[in-house]
Structure 1
Amino acid sequence: MNFLLVSVAISTSAFAQWHPVGDKIKTAWAEKIDPQHVLPEYPRPLMERSEWENLNGLWNYAIQKRGESLPATYNGQILVPFAVESSLSGVGKRLNEDQELWYNRSFNLPAAWKGKRVLLHFGAVDWQTDVWVNGVNVGRHTGGFTPFSFDVTAALTKGANQLLVRVWDPTDKGVQPRGKQVAKPEGIWYTPVSGIWQTVWLEPVPETYITALKTTPDIDQRQLQIEVQTNAATQLGYIRAEASVYDGQRLVSSGASVNGEPVRIAMPADMKLWSPDSPFLYTVKLRLCCNGKEVDRVDSYAAMRKYSTKRDEKGIVRLQLNNQDLFQYGPLDQGWWPDGLYTAPCDEALAYDVKKTKDFGFNMIRKHIKVELARWYTHCDRLGVIVWQDMPSGDRNPECRTAAISTEPSLSVLLSPKRSIAKSGKKLWIVSTPILASVYGCPLMKPGDNSKRRK
Structure 2
Amino acid sequence: MTAFLYPQDTACRRVVDISGIWRFKIDKNNEGRTANWKDGLTDTIDMAVPSSYNDIFTDKAVRDHCGDVWYETDFVVPAEWQGKEVQIRFGSATHRAIVWVNGVEVASHEGGYMPFAGELNDVVQFGKKNKVVVVVNNELSLSTIPAGGVVAHKDGVKEVKPYFDFFNYSGLHRQVKLLALPKQRITDITTITDFQGSQAE
TM-score, normalization: structure 2?
A: 0.71
Residue 127 of structure 1 aligns with which residue?
95
Identify which of 183, 194, 198 aligns with 2:174.
Answer: 198
Displacement after TM superposition at 1:107 (Å)? 0.3
> 1:128, CA displacement in angstroms?
1.8
Change (3 A) 1:49 1:209: farther
Q: Does 2:132 align with 1:168?
A: no
Q: Tell me: CA distance 1:170–1:184, structure 2 relative to 1, closer, same or farther (3 Å).
A: closer
What is the DSSP-based 3-state SS (H/G/I as helix, E as strand, rest coil) of the residue aligned with 1:157?
coil
Shift of 1:199: 1.2
Q: Deviations over 1:93-116 (max 9, x none)?
A: 32544x310000000122331221
Q: Counterparts of 1:39-58 in structure 2 under 5 Å? A: 45=6, 48-50=8-10, 51-58=14-21
Q: Determine what percentage of the aligned residue pairs are the same residue.
A: 25
Q: Which has more radius of gyration?
A: 1
Instruction: Check conservation: 1:141, 1:148, Cα contact below 8 A.
Output: yes
Question: Is the contact made by 1:119 and 1:202 (CA closer than 8 Å) also made in structure 2?
Answer: yes
Count of residues paired in the alignment? 167
Deviation at 1:197, TM superposition (A): 0.6
Report Cα offsets for 1:135-192 as digits up to 9, x if no partner. 1111211111111111111110140010000112114xx221127999478xx72222
The residue number in structure 2 matching 1:60 is 23
Runs of 5+ consecutive residues of structure 1 not aligned to the other structure: 1-42, 213-226, 229-260, 263-455
1:84·1:91 contact (CA, 8 Å) conserved in 2?
Answer: no
What is the CA–CA distance in structure 2 between the aligned matches of 1:72 and 1:120, rounded to whole Å? 20
Provide closer, same or farther for how the CA distance between residues 44 and 91 of structure 1 changes in structure 2, counting only shifts above 3 A. farther
The answer (yes or no) to whether the contact 1:85–1:91 under 8 Å persists in 2 is no
SS for the counterpart of 2:122 is helix
* In structure 2, C-alpha distance between the alignment counterparts of 1:86 and 1:209, rounded to whole Å: 40
Give the Cα–Cα distance (whole angstroms) in 2 for the partners of residues 135 and 183 of structure 1. 30
Q: Deviations over 1:3-45 (max 9, x none)?
A: xxxxxxxxxxxxxxxxxxxxxxxxxxxxxxxxxxxxxxxx955
| Residues 78, 90 of structure 1: 8 Å contact kept | no
For 1:166 and 1:82, the matched residues in 2 are separated by 15
The structure that is strand-richer by fraction is: 2
Name the SS of the counterpart of 1:154 in structure 2.
Answer: coil
CA shift at 1:126, angstroms?
Answer: 0.8
8 A contact 1:61–1:75 mirrored in 2: yes
Q: Which runs of 5+ in 2 are unaligned?
A: 150-158, 193-201
CA–CA separation in structure 1 for the residues paired with 2:110 and 2:76: 27
Distance in 1, matches of 2:101 and 2:89, equals 13
SS of the counterpart of 2:63?
coil
Show the 5 A alignment for 1:115-264: 115-158=83-126, 159-171=128-140, 174-175=141-142, 176-178=144-146, 183=160, 189-212=165-188, 227=189
Structure number with the higher helix fraction is 1
Secondary structure of 2:54 counterpart:
coil
Contact 2:25–2:41 at 8 Å: present in 1 too? no
Distance 1:90 1:76 in 2: 14
Letter of the structure 2 residue corresponding to residue 53 of structure 1: V
| CA distance in 1: counterparts of 2:148 and 2:51, whole angstroms | 17
Deviation at 1:200, TM superposition (A): 0.9
